[in-house]
Amino acid sequence: MARAQRFPEPEDSVADNKRGNTMTTNSEFKAWRVEEKDGEYQGSEQTLSTADLPEGEVLIRVTHSSLNYKDALSASGNKGVTRSFPHTPGIDAAGEVVESATGEPAVGSRVIVTGYDLGMNTDGGFGEYIRVPAAWCVPMPSGWDARTAMIYGTAGLTAGLCVGKLLKMGASPEQGKVAVSGASGAVGSVAIELLANLGFDVVAISGKADHADSLKDLGASEVVGRDALAEEKKPLLKPVFANAVDTVGGTPLAELLKQVQPGGSVSCCGLVAGPQLSTTVLPFILRGVNLLGVDSVEIPLPDKQAVWEKFAGEWKCPKTEASARDIGRAELDEALKAFLKGASAGKIVLDHSR
């Protein structure tokens, strides 16, 4: 796959690798691994060997990963995400290349890997090492570090893609309010800050009344409860939103579509409220509303790289970066369970040095 840019030069800490002092393929490392016992799925720290990792062109020493809803599904034994166990989840990883069969990315270069099969059926970023195809590796934007990249992670990447699709459809602040559902979640919170930074009037839709102040701090001008998207019989409602980012799917998405102004767009990326979408065609044929699907997993590498470069530059979200919470592997179990309960908020970074 074509790459738009060279991989950055190694930092001092990995210069030894560039001089040929690379690890052997049998080094031991720590990983948070999920096993199945009597139909129950339990994660724990284990010592693995890099020889246990799957085939692949690039061996990466992972310093940081990021927590996502999909990791929680994998860790709970969801077979739609991970077919067989034992397994190391972690759909995001950032770190340094220590072995490279293709020479590009080079040993010592810093990379971000998100999506594709990482953490699903390929051992992921909850281990200190991953081995992946070269075509999964995005060069770290210059001036960025692994922790910062993982504050955004797949959730940030997805928020960036959602906002990018709205902008591509011509969304602008003058058109009116933009709604963000699942507002306190990992995708929703980045979408709020990014849209607010771009000058949009953002309405956060959240089930967590106690998060109203933090959502306003991120840039929302208004916070409304999830009941704003409760099921209504009418096929169309008063069009109060010019555009929207929906991270929850299900009934809330169907209700959101009824409330979008003529010509407006809704980026849709998630399914925490359900995978079904029960709607009429009326928002589409009477108001010309656009429903824009967003996939951050399988899209071409240059599309991911473009969003990462933006977050490292004009799309920087300082509040998201400042509010991220760092955890170690020992805290993964609790943090992942909070995701499944819809009780997580903000961005959580896994730091393998903790």
Ligand X SMILES: NC(=O)c1ccc[n+]([C@@H]2O[C@H](COP(=O)([O-])OP(=O)(O)OC[C@H]3O[C@@H](n4cnc5c(N)ncnc54)[C@H](OP(=O)(O)O)[C@@H]3O)[C@@H](O)[C@H]2O)c1
Task: Decide if residue 307 touches ligand X (CB under 6 A).
Answer: no
Question: Considering the complex, what minimum distance in angstroms separates the CB of residue 212 from ligand X?
Answer: 10
Question: Which of 18, 16, 22 has its CA nearest to residue 8?
Answer: 18
The binding track of 72-101 with respect to ligand X, each residue x by CB under 6 A or -, is ------------------------------
Judged by beta carbon, residue 132 or residue 294, the one nearer ligand X is 294
Task: Decide if residue 187 touches ligand X (CB under 6 A).
Answer: yes
Structure tokens, 28: 């031991």
Question: Considering the complex, what minimum distance in angstroms separates the CB of residue 113 from ligand X?
Answer: 15
- Give the range of 8-16, 265-273, 314-322, 329-337 binding ligand X by CB under 6 A: 265-273
Question: Considering the complex, what minimum distance in angstroms separates the CB of residue 248 from ligand X?
Answer: 4
Residues in 215-234 at the binding interface with ligand X, rule: CB under 6 A = 226
Task: Decide if residue 297 touches ligand X (CB under 6 A).
Answer: yes
End-to-end alpha carbon distance in the chain: 35
CB atoms within 10 A of CB 145: 14
Question: Considering the complex, what minimum distance in angstroms separates the CB of residue 37 from ligand X?
Answer: 26
- Give the range of 53-61, 64-72, 144-152, 258-266 binding ligand X by CB under 6 A: 64-72
Question: Whole-angstrom Cα distance, residue 50 to residue 187?
Answer: 32
Question: Considering the complex, what minimum distance in angstroms separates the CB of residue 52 from ligand X?
Answer: 28
Using CB under 6 A, which of 244, 253, 256, 272 touches ligand X? 272
Task: Decide if residue 136 touches ligand X (CB under 6 A).
Answer: no
Judged by beta carbon, residue 58 or residue 348, the one nearer ligand X is 348
Task: Decide if residue 247 touches ligand X (CB under 6 A).
Answer: yes
Task: Decide if residue 158 touches ligand X (CB under 6 A).
Answer: yes
Question: Whole-angstrom Cα distance, residue 341 to residue 37?
Answer: 22
Q: Residues 354, 73: contact at Cβ < 8 Å?
A: no
* Peptide bond before residue 86 is cis, with ω within 30 degrees of 0: yes
Question: Considering the complex, what minimum distance in angstroms separates the CB of residue 202 from ligand X?
Answer: 13
Task: Decide if residue 182 touches ligand X (CB under 6 A).
Answer: yes
Question: Whole-angstrom Cα distance, residue 156 to residue 166?
Answer: 15
Question: Considering the complex, what minimum distance in angstroms separates the CB of residue 322 from ligand X?
Answer: 18
Using CB under 6 A, which of 61, 64, 70, 319 touches ligand X? 70
SS3 255: helix
SS3 48: strand
Question: Considering the complex, what minimum distance in angstroms separates the CB of residue 266 from ligand X?
Answer: 14
Question: Which of 227, 232, 151, 218 has its CA nearest to residue 183?
Answer: 218
Judged by beta carbon, residue 169 or residue 299, the one nearer ligand X is 299
Q: At 338, which helix (H) or strand (E)?
A: helix 332-340
Question: Considering the complex, what minimum distance in angstroms separates the CB of residue 182 from ligand X?
Answer: 3
Contacts of residue 113, Cβ cutoff 8 Å, sequence gap at least 6: 60, 92, 93, 94, 125, 130, 132, 136, 137, 138
Beta strands in the chain (DSSP E): 28-37, 40-49, 58-66, 92-100, 110-114, 129-132, 138-139, 178-181, 202-206, 220-225, 243-246, 265-268, 290-293, 325-327, 348-351
Using CB under 6 A, which of 69, 116, 129, 241 touches ligand X? 69
Residues contributing to the site for ligand X (CB under 6 A): 68-70, 154-155, 158, 182-188, 206-208, 226, 247-248, 252, 269-273, 294-297, 339, 342, 344
